[in-house]
């Protein structure tokens, strides 16, 4: 990921973390990366950024990824959105890309870099799955699920 993308994302994350609204409600970070054919992947990533914009602050996350800081959005809501987006991308007839996502809750007591690292770890776990997926932490999943659970679909 280019240094300027990381700097913008961490600055935006820190700004949200310091805001007054942060203390009142949950905030969630979503990292989405498209893999596959480069030109198609960049096109999908750009469209993805536009689609995510109404939900919060969107930042580039490498050449074929987007990061969303979703204020006042519960993790379960963002997971459902990520799963829907993934299903739409996979359902395209001329699909040449796959989509993986990592989601993390921004806790008020956590360091912002810790949260970003958690979301990125979840993203890498999703990318390691044969068909991609959406990975979250155990603290937001249904009882009995592990942090490494992959929700496909």
Integer Cα distance of 24 and 26 in angstroms: 7
Strand-by-strand arrangement of the 27-36 sheet:
57-60, 65-71, 27-36, 97-106, 133-135, 150-151
Candidate from 35-39, 82-86, 146-150 with smallest mean pLDDT: 146-150
Nearest partner of 75 among 1, 144, 143, 138, judged by Cα: 138
Integer Cα distance of 116 and 82 in angstroms: 17
Instruction: State pLDDT tens for residues 84-113.
Output: 888 887 777 666 788 899 999 887 777 788
More reliable by pLDDT, 78 or 18 = 78
Q: Which two tokens stand for residue 4?
A: 């300027």
Task: Quote the mean pLDDT of the chain.
Answer: 79
Phi/psi zone of residue 51: left (φ > 0), alpha (ψ -120 to 50 degrees), beta?
alpha
In sequence order, the 6+-apart residues with CB closer than 8 A to the CB of 22 are: 16, 71, 106, 108
pLDDT of residue 1: 65
More reliable by pLDDT, 46 or 152 = 46
pLDDT of residue 52: 92
More reliable by pLDDT, 110 or 146 = 110
Q: Which two tokens stand for residue 95?
A: 């699909």
């Amino acid at each position: 990921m280019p240094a300027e993308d990381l700097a913008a994302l961490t600055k935006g994350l820190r700004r949200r973390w310091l805001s007054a609204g942060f203390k009142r409600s949950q905030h969630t970070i979503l990292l989405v990366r498209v893999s596959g054919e480069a030109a198609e992947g960049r096109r999908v990533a750009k469209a993805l950024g536009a689609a995510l914009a109404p939900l919060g602050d969107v930042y580039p996350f490498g050449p074929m990824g987007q990061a969303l800081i979703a204020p006042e959005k519960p993790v379960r809501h963002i997971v459902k959105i990520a799963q829907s987006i993934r299903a739409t991308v996979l359902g395209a007839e001329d699909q040449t890309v796959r989509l993986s996502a990592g989601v993390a809750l921004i806790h008020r007591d956590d360091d912002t870099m810790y949260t970003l690292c958690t979301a990125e770890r979840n993203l890498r776990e999703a990318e390691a799955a044969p068909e991609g997926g959406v990975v979250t932490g155990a603290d937001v999943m249904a009882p009995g699920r592990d942090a490494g659970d992959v929700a496909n679909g």
